Amino acid sequence: MDSYHIPVLLNQSIEGLSINPNGIYVDCTFGGGGHSKVILDKLDKGKLVVFDQDVDAIANMPDDDRLVKVQGNFRYLRNYLRYNNIDKVDGVLADLGVSSHHFDDKERGFSFRFDADLDMRMNQLADLTAKKVLNEYSVDELKFIFKNYGELKSGGRIAGFVDRFRKKKEIKTIADFKELLEPILPPKGQSKVLAQAFQALRIEVNQEMEALKDMLLQTADVISKGGRLVVITYHSLEDRLVKNFIKKGMFIGEPEKDIYGNFTVPFSVINRKVIVPDSKEIEKNSRARSAKLRIAVKN
């Protein structure tokens, strides 16, 4: 399993779960199974519920009586737990990174290193692809995606380039997308702009922000008192949502206070300072460099 994906912040995230050998845990993103493997090693009579949308990841899951396999999006966490007769769990782990397998499989269209169809679906049964987004979304919708999900100041210009290009011919491949981006790619740092543009499309195709919000809100219901929430993020959009939810129990605004000026939140922070990979881990796995780990305990 380890060759499929190198797990990020492995020891720190497993330690953060504070595993009870007889407890029930959830791995929201099985991927290559690196985190799941270590959780299973620490379980005795406990259970591990593993989620993944990708048929490739499902096929990679081991046969283990303690493992409950779910081919689905973690945004339906509560429903899938109920379906498996599970009311409460002792911990939820979510490694929000795209697996190395996705980036390295050129046919999936996640990486600008290859030329392929503009796909980017984590769930290959879903209808929405990056090609559909680029060819069918309005200019305003594209501008929103590139500015907000890609954090690109040039989001408006990119939306305009997309619109002009698709009026001449359909945008089908990664090469097409890179061609229309050429006018705004700087002489230095082209990879960063491309990465941000691809990130924006991927987030939209997979509805990643909405799925993350849905999952986080449900953890407040499904995690038992004293249980742990452990989340690894890879960009500021995700990290902001996770940080605000753990601190306030919501994503924007402030929670309502009682007459004494106090407010109740579902979780308490375990690590006041965000946990990041050290230089040794980054040297071993360059994709870990942007990772941030936050750990909370259910009140």
- Can you spell out the DSSP letters for 148-181? IIS--TTHHHHHHHHHHHHHHS---BHHHHHHHH
Domain count, the chain: 2
User: Residue 204: its pLDDT value, please?
Assistant: 97
Q: Is the pLDDT score of 115 beyond 80?
A: no
2 — pLDDT class (breaks 50, 70, 90)? very low
User: Residue 1: its pLDDT value, please?
Assistant: 41
Q: What is the pLDDT of residues 265-284, one digit of tens each?
A: 999 999 989 999 999 999 99
Of the residues 206, 234, 265, which one is the last residue of a structural domain? 206
9 to 109, 115, 215, 241: CA distances (angstroms): 26, 31, 21, 20
Residue 125 in any domain: the answer is: yes
Q: What is the pLDDT of residues 189-231, one digit of tens each?
A: 888 999 899 999 999 999 999 999 999 999 999 999 999 999 9
Cβ contact 196:154 at 8 Å:
no
Provide the edge-to-edge strand list for the sheet that holds 24-27.
67-71, 47-52, 24-27, 89-95, 223-233, 292-298, 267-269
Q: Token pair for residue 109?
A: 């269209």
Residue 110 in any domain: the answer is: yes
User: Residue 101: its pLDDT value, please?
Assistant: 52
Residue of 126, 123, 204 lying closest to 162 (CA atoms): 204
**160 and 288 both lie in a single domain:** no
Residue bearing the bigger pLDDT, 92 or 54: 92
**131 and 191 both lie in a single domain:** yes
Q: Token pair for residue 203?
A: 């987030």
Residue of 46, 83, 52, 88 lying closest to 67 (CA atoms): 46
Q: Is the pLDDT score of 5 beyond 90?
A: no
Q: Rounded distance, CA 213 to CA 242, Å?
A: 8
Tell me the residue type at 242.
V
Percent of the chain having pLDDT more than 90?
74
**132 and 261 both lie in a single domain:** no
**What is the number of H-type helices and E-type strands within the chain?**
13, 7
Tell me the residue type at 24.
I
Q: What is the pLDDT of residues 22-74, one digit of tens each?
A: 999 999 999 888 999 999 999 999 999 999 988 877 888 888 999 999 999 99
3-state class percentages of the chain: helix first, strand second, coil last, to nearest 5: 45, 15, 40
State the residue range of the domain holding 171.
106-206
Distance, CA of 299 to chain centre: 25
233 to 107, 276, 290: CA distances (angstroms): 25, 10, 8
Of the residues 166, 191, 206, which one is the last residue of a structural domain? 206
State mean pLDDT over 116-120.
90
Core vs surface per residue 112-130: b (16+ CB within 10 A) or e: bebebebbbbbbeeeeebb
Average pLDDT score over the chain: 91
Cβ contact 201:133 at 8 Å:
yes
Indicate whether this model's pTM tops 0.85.
yes
Q: Is the pLDDT score of 251 beyond 90?
A: yes
Residue 265 in any domain: the answer is: yes
Residue 115 in any domain: the answer is: yes
Largest CA distance in the chain: 63
User: Residue 31: its pLDDT value, please?
Assistant: 85
**196 and 225 both lie in a single domain:** no
Residue bearing the bigger pLDDT, 78 or 254: 78
User: Residue 3: its pLDDT value, please?
Assistant: 42
44 to 26, 65, 84: CA distances (angstroms): 15, 11, 19
Cβ contact 12:18 at 8 Å:
no
- Mean pLDDT check: name the lowest of 16-20, 165-169, 193-197, 291-295: 193-197
Q: Is the pLDDT score of 162 beyond 60?
A: yes
Residue 285 in any domain: the answer is: yes
User: Residue 113: its pLDDT value, please?
Assistant: 65
Q: Is the pLDDT score of 170 beyond 60?
A: yes
User: Residue 283: its pLDDT value, please?
Assistant: 92
**44 and 126 both lie in a single domain:** no
Residue bearing the bigger pLDDT, 114 or 268: 268
User: Residue 38: its pLDDT value, please?
Assistant: 96
**192 and 263 both lie in a single domain:** no
User: Residue 142: its pLDDT value, please?
Assistant: 98
